[in-house]
Amino acid sequence: MEGDILSSYHGTYRYYAASTMKLAVALTVLHAVDDGRLALDDVIPATHRYPSAAGGSFRFDEEDSDPLFPAEGDPISVRELLESMIERSCNESTNMLMDMVGIEAIHEMCARCGLHDMHVDRLIGDVAAARATGISNEVTSDDLSWLTVQAVRGDYLADASTELLRNALRQQRYPVIADVLPELGKQNVDWGSKSGWVDGIRHDVAFLGDPDDPHSLVLCVLSSGIEDEAAIAAEHAIAAGLLEPLLRS
């Protein structure tokens, strides 16, 4: 995985990041693990309430909650938080991990990765902060692609942490790009991804092929202002059209 940009369309246009920002959180957490500031086996009590950047606290509505997340006060490990954040896009896990490492550490990781426009400035679901101050989390396709390349290539992580992150991405429960692989006859292609969505927003970024192979690929498709089913259909068409010649053996 070399990191050269083959093609980019509106690559610096900023979108609301939705859950794609969880990849930056995961990279920051694993960097802290490698530095000895956290341990994957550390166990802490689960919580469903989080501090708002606008003051006070909030908890998720039922539709944004993870039904598999432990009850208030039950034990959960850093490893479980990280894996559930990536595999099933658990919002509760994300906010707990962000509280552990701090938003400034996520800023530092984005800067270390050379990202120009992606920024993570508030917890997932902090609607009060978004309304009161305009604080948001934003991403571009160029930055998200480059972040993914560096994350799965292991530029800033120990080998064990890199493999943990790769495997979590491989267990993604809400793929978009990888859904087109069977129709291309590429069911056996190694892949992993991180998707994200809210009303009017649908994103996915995926690695395709062995990340240790310099010829493996990262594809990122971001959309806004489109109904969910139409957005998924469009992203499937884009992914299939781009990947068919690139994956042709």
Does the pLDDT at position 249 exceed 70? no
Answer yes or no: is 10 within a domain: no
What is the number of structural domains in the chain? 1
Answer yes or no: is 2 within a domain: no
Report the pLDDT value the prediction gives residue 22, as an integer from 0 to 100.
98
pTM (2 d.p.): 0.96
Closest C-alpha to 218, from 171, 137, 152: 152
Does the pLDDT at position 56 exceed 70? yes
pLDDT tens digits, 190-211: 999 999 999 999 999 999 999 9
Does the pLDDT at position 3 exceed 90? no
CATH number of the domain where residue 184 is located: 3.40.710.10
Element (H, E) at 222: strand 217-224
pLDDT tens digits, 118-146: 999 999 999 999 998 889 999 999 999 99
Answer yes or no: is 51 within a domain: yes
Report the pLDDT value the prediction gives residue 6, as an integer from 0 to 100.
82
Answer yes or no: is 8 within a domain: no
Beta strand 15-16 with 75-77 is: unpaired
Cα(223)–Cα(233) distance, rounded to whole angstroms?
A: 11
Answer yes or no: is 9 within a domain: no
Answer yes or no: is 5 within a domain: no
Answer yes or no: is 7 within a domain: no
Report the pLDDT value the prediction gives residue 227, as an integer from 0 to 100.
94
Answer yes or no: is 1 within a domain: no
Does the pLDDT at position 91 exceed 80? yes
DSSP-assigned beta bridge partners for residue 208:
191, 217
Q: In the structure, what pLDDT confidence band is assigned to residue 45 with cuts at 50, 70 and 90?
A: very high
**Distance of CA 201 to CAs 29, 35, 82, Å?**
26, 35, 23
The whole domain housing 77 covers: 15-246
